[in-house]
Amino acid sequence: MQEADIAIIGGGPGGYVCAIRAAQLGLRTIVIEKDRMGGECLNYGCIPSKALITAVKLYDKIRNAQKLGIKVTGVEVDMQIMQAWKKNVVETFVSGVEQLCKGYGAKIIKGEAELVAKDRIRVTNKDQVEEISTEKLVIATGSIPLELPFMRFDHRSIIDSRDSLELTEVPKRFLVVGGGAIGLEIASLYQKLGSQVTIVELTEQLLPGTDPEVVRIVQRNLERKGVKIYLKSKVVYAEKTPYSVKVTVQTPEGNVEVETDKILLSIGRRPNTDKLNLGQLGILTDQKGYILVNKQMSTSVEGVYAIGDVTGPPMLAHKASKQGIVAAEAAAGLPASADWKVIPDATFSEPEVANVGMTEATAQVKGFAAAKARFPFAALGRSLTAGETEGFVKLVYDQNTKLLLGAQIVGSSASDLISEVSLAIEMGASVEDLAMTIHPHPTLPEGIMEAAEIASGKPIHQLRIGQR
Amino acid sequence: MSYQVKLPDIGEGIAEGEIVKWLVKEGDSVKQDQPIVEVMTDKVNVQIPSPKNGIIRRILAQEGQMVKVGQAILEIDAEGQEQAEMQPPSQVTKEEISKKEEKQTVQENVIATPSVRRLARELSVDITKVKGSGPLGRITEQDVKAYAQQRTESATQMTETVTKEKEEEVEIYQLRGVRRNISEHLVKARNATVAVTHVDEADVTELVSLREALKGPAEKKGVKLTYLPIIMKALIPVLKEFPFVNASLDDEREAIVLKKYYNIGIATDTEQGLIVPVIKNVDKKDVFQIASELNNLAEKARNGALTLDEVKGSTFSITNPGTFGGLFATPMINWPDVAILGIYKISKRPVVKDGEIQIRDTTYLSLTFDHRVIDGAYAARFMSRLIEILQDPKRIMSEVL
Ligand SMILES: Cc1cc2nc3c(=O)[nH]c(=O)nc-3n(C[C@H](O)[C@H](O)[C@H](O)COP(=O)(O)OP(=O)(O)OC[C@H]3O[C@@H](n4cnc5c(N)ncnc54)[C@H](O)[C@@H]3O)c2cc1C
């Protein structure tokens, strides 16, 4: 039997980061992974999706380079090569993670883990079974996609996000059920590759929970490119035929029949805890099955921690990793705490969307003197020179103190821009601090500075109301 | 529909409380007004009733956690409203996101950089208690260090060193519930007063016989009579004569507030620790009433059943460590009172009286007082007057009944 100070179940961005930090702190560390190190994110999620999205975006740019004076003929996508390239990116990353773990002395054990007790794990790899006894335990088993009762994954015509990133042929018709981050990213991807894309979303907007003004830009872009979007709608019936799937979509205007080649079900995910005996061990979950944790990532059972998607939304790789660090440090007896103020998020749709902190509405609810300042990319030098003028930066702040509370950015590179605002919020900056910081010209982050100048009441590149 | 239960305003200017015990768990169904959680505020437990009928969806505050008034502690799926129709969870998930975010940003009113927040954790400083000196009230590294320094110098030092020991060699108790309140209150008392103790000796032989005489009548009324109610009654004329002892110091107004009412706090030992229930308007009650109230409050204190009202508003306090032995002690003032009377073990001692050695019942009495309000001579005169009354049975009789 192997013995460990800390055993981590799951080698995703939560688990592997936790393992590295635990090993750095001198704990005898074991990380158990049934599939591939790097988890959903590296193998089937963030990394492969971003690889494909970037490749296809380049394709799209090349095709639209005409207006910049670049003549292009004969541009074609070879899905086989693109997939091979993506695979290579993933492989490089995964082997890098394995080397890091080993380099710091965290032991990787391959196999499926079951919890026998809070300090005992049974690992099954094909027909080999071994037991591990451990002082501390970290659950980092991630999440799995949900299905609908009448639409189960067959991984051919009804597919999950993993399948959708493995296709070597572009489907002619592509139906996305669920217009959240994952659904939108993949919808944009196949729209650019030439599929006729339809999106069905249950709520009244795409990216539920996001500032509607932001979502409008994304929706307009998709619709302009011919994507059919049904809001406040749901798929109520699906029937497979030999060559397609026919679905019935219940829309506010009545039922609509849609015929499609592939259906991506991206309606949400659930915690992956089936093998863990949570109930018997007294590890409490909420009603949806997400493990309840405190700020030290400790569960209701002493010595057992949980991190990442199993602890519930927001389901983001960077959140999982930071929680992994907190859990490792807490397990090692350090005074760690998940006391960050904000968790930024980014959606790689067309254009990109990134959020951090509060929206104006949330700030109001929380009792701040909420105000917003908006600067459109169309007025920014860098956006004009890049030919990408869609979108804006919106800052949310407190009118009295000028304290920065949040930002919503929609536009090219929004995912890269958001971090400046995250840092500012963590540092307790005011909008004036942002406005008075010199930003190089011409660059996209100037948009943040410009919005901050508006918030401070001293805009240069915008006429103030009353001065128009 | 999901409904958030917030910690209600409990009154008396209380801003926060500690979750002591959940009386329900997730998934339970609750009726309106059914107690759902026990919250400890300033030395008492309050049970918070459910505002609605429904099912407990999610508990948002753990036992032992401090929560602010207005902070969400529970989510209830309230009855009566239509459950949203079965939906694929994409929407539900998003709804959750904002909630989760809220949960993770509890300290959102604290402005401090991440490294300063970590420093606070390392120094076991509750950053929400630190006053920021930077722009927008930002808490700087200096602020945290200064706070830690000041705290180390104060009374909680003991627990600090305890946690630094090797874990095998010590047993660690988190400061929780009553203990935490005691700790916070005592530090406040210590920092807010300049305490000095005056001790004197009293011949209480007459007091002892007075109690013997009153025991019978007391029993008839169904109460157990100790010395305490008699001493409390004896105190009243002295407090009236020395009004600065029955007072408090209002730092903000820079004023001494003399109180025209006489509410006496009684330090009471319970299993969880020291609690000080208050007997109101002692001047208007007779010894038997006081005795029965005392028994009643002591009982409640031991069961953790005191209401907030019963531990608030003292104007003067008494501590009686005598029951546990010892000569005398230097008690802490029950701030915002300015003084506390210590009464100790009554024992037979040789006393020179009328030119000969006699065996008398004597005790020590101490008055610990805030020197900013009371001077030593004033305290000594107060004490002499009290002893004079305690030694004179006739005076006692008239005051007592
Ligand atoms: C298509 C897609 C795109 C995404 N894009 C982004 C993005 O751009 N940015 C972002 O932040 N997030 C993104 N996410 C979300 C992100 O992937 C997750 O939040 C993240 O992977 C969660 O990390 P984790 O460590 O909690 O779990 P996972 O990454 O799910 O890792 C869990 C690991 O545990 C293993 N495991 C499970 N059970 C057992 C067991 N019993 N024994 C042994 N091993 C076990 C699994 O094999 C898996 O490797 C995306 C997700 C998807 C699906």
Contact A426/B113, CB-based, under 8 Å?
Answer: yes
Q: Which of B163, B284, B371, B375 is catalytic?
A: B371
Give A96-108 pLDDT, tens digit per residue: 999 999 999 999 9
Report the topology of domain B2-98: OB fold (Dihydrolipoamide Acetyltransferase, E2P) (2.40.50)
Unique residue bearing structure tokens 């605002």: A421
Q: Which of B90, B95, B114 sits opposite A340 (nearest CB)?
A: B114
In a domain, A289, yes or no: yes
User: What average pLDDT does this structure show over A137-159?
Assistant: 96
Task: Look at residue A312 and tell me whether its pLDDT is greater than 70.
Answer: yes
Q: Which of A155, A318, A439, A441 is catalytic?
A: A441
User: What average pLDDT does this structure show over A218-246?
Assistant: 95
User: What average pLDDT does this structure show over A296-325?
Assistant: 96
Q: What is the mean pLDDT of chain A?
A: 95
Looking at the fold, whether A164 and A255 belong to one and the same domain comes out as yes
User: What average pLDDT does this structure show over B330-335?
Assistant: 89
Give, for ligand 1, the residue of A40, A153, A190, A419 to mutate: max count of ligand atoms closer than 8 Å to Cβ: A40
Q: In A132-154, which positions are buried (b, 16+ CB within 10 angstroms) versus exposed (e)?
A: bebebbbbbbbbebbebeebebe
Looking at the fold, whether A282 and A253 belong to one and the same domain comes out as no
Nearest ligand 1 atom, CA A15: 25
* Domain ranges (residues) in chain B: 2-98, 114-172, 180-400
Give B204-248 pLDDT, tens digit per residue: 998 898 888 888 888 888 888 888 999 999 999 999 999 999 998
Helix (H), strand (E) at residue A254: strand A254-260
Looking at the fold, whether A241 and A274 belong to one and the same domain comes out as no
- Distance between alpha carbon A424 and the CA centroid of its chain, in Å? 22
CA-proximal residue: ligand 1, atom 52 (nearest): A45
Looking at the fold, whether A383 and A415 belong to one and the same domain comes out as yes
CATH superfamily label, B114-172? E3-binding domain (4.10.320.10)
Say whether A318 is catalytic: no
Q: Does B97 touch chain A (CB under 8 A)?
A: yes
State the pLDDT confidence band at B165, using cuts at 50, 70 and 90.
low
Residues of B in contact with A270 (CB under 8 A): 89
In a domain, A153, yes or no: no
Looking at the fold, whether A389 and A294 belong to one and the same domain comes out as no
In a domain, A261, yes or no: yes
Looking at the fold, whether A325 and A435 belong to one and the same domain comes out as no
Q: Does B58 touch chain A (CB under 8 A)?
A: yes
Contact A428/B97, CB-based, under 8 Å?
Answer: no
Interface of B with A in 252-311 (CB under 8 A): none
Task: Look at residue A119 and tell me whether its pLDDT is greater than 80.
Answer: yes
Whether ipTM > 0.95 holds is: no
According to DSSP, the residues that pair with B54 across neighbouring strands are B30, B78
Q: Are A94 and A43 in contact (CB under 8 A)?
A: yes
pLDDT value, residue B92: 29
Looking at the fold, whether A26 and A128 belong to one and the same domain comes out as yes
CA-proximal residue: ligand 1, atom 53 (nearest): A45
In a domain, A152, yes or no: no
Domain B180-400 sits in CATH at 3.30.559.10
Nearest ligand 1 atom, CA A310: 26
pLDDT value, residue B88: 28
Looking at the fold, whether A434 and A324 belong to one and the same domain comes out as no
Q: For chain A, what is the domain count?
A: 3
Unique residue bearing structure tokens 């003549």: A71
In a domain, A185, yes or no: yes
Give B74-99 pLDDT, tens digit per residue: 888 876 543 332 222 222 233 333 33
Contact A366/B97, CB-based, under 8 Å?
Answer: no
Task: Report which of A293, A290, A271, A276 is spatially closest to residue A120, judged by C-alpha positions.
Answer: A276
User: What average pLDDT does this structure show over B130-136?
Assistant: 88
Task: Report which of A188, A198, A255 is spatially closest to residue A218, judged by C-alpha positions.
Answer: A188
Looking at the fold, whether A97 and A239 belong to one and the same domain comes out as no
Of the two residues B274 and B387, the one the predictor is more confident about is B387
Looking at the fold, whether A327 and A408 belong to one and the same domain comes out as no
CATH number of domain containing A115:
3.50.50.60
Q: In terms of CA atoms, which chain A residue is nearest residue B122? A: A335
Q: What is the DSSP string of B315-354?
A: SEEEE-GGGG--S---PPP-TTSSEEEEE---EEEEEEET
Q: What is the mean pLDDT of chain B?
A: 80
Domain that residue A374 falls in: 345-455
Task: Report which of B311, B364, B374, B324 is spatially closest to residue B342, judged by C-alpha positions.
Answer: B364
How far does the centroid of ligand 1 lie from the alpha carbon of residue A320, in Å? 9
Spell out which chain A residues touch chain B, with contact meaning CB-CB distance below 8 angstroms: 146, 148, 177-180, 183, 201-203, 208-209, 234, 266-270, 284, 286-288, 294, 312-315, 335-343, 362, 366, 401-403, 426-428, 430
Residues whose CB falls within 8 Å of the CB of residue B267, separated by 6 or more in sequence, listed in order = B274, B275, B276, B317, B318, B319, B320, B331, B334, B340
pLDDT value, residue B255: 84
Nearest ligand 1 atom, CA A112: 42
Contact A339/B87, CB-based, under 8 Å?
Answer: no
Report how far residue A53's alpha carbon sits from residue B140's, in angstroms, rounded to the nearest whole number. Answer: 43
Looking at the fold, whether A257 and A312 belong to one and the same domain comes out as no
Q: Which three-class secondary structure state does DSSP give residue A360?
A: helix
Task: Report which of B88, B331, B335 is spatially closest to residue A233, judged by C-alpha positions.
Answer: B88
Q: Which three-class secondary structure state does DSSP give residue A381?
A: helix
CATH number of domain containing A368:
3.30.390.30
Looking at the fold, whether A48 and A131 belong to one and the same domain comes out as yes
How many CB atoms are located within 10 Å of the residue A357 CB?
27
In a domain, A460, yes or no: no
Mean pLDDT lowest for which of B44-53, B111-120, B139-148, B274-283? B44-53
Please say which residue of A232, A249, A267 terminates a domain: A267
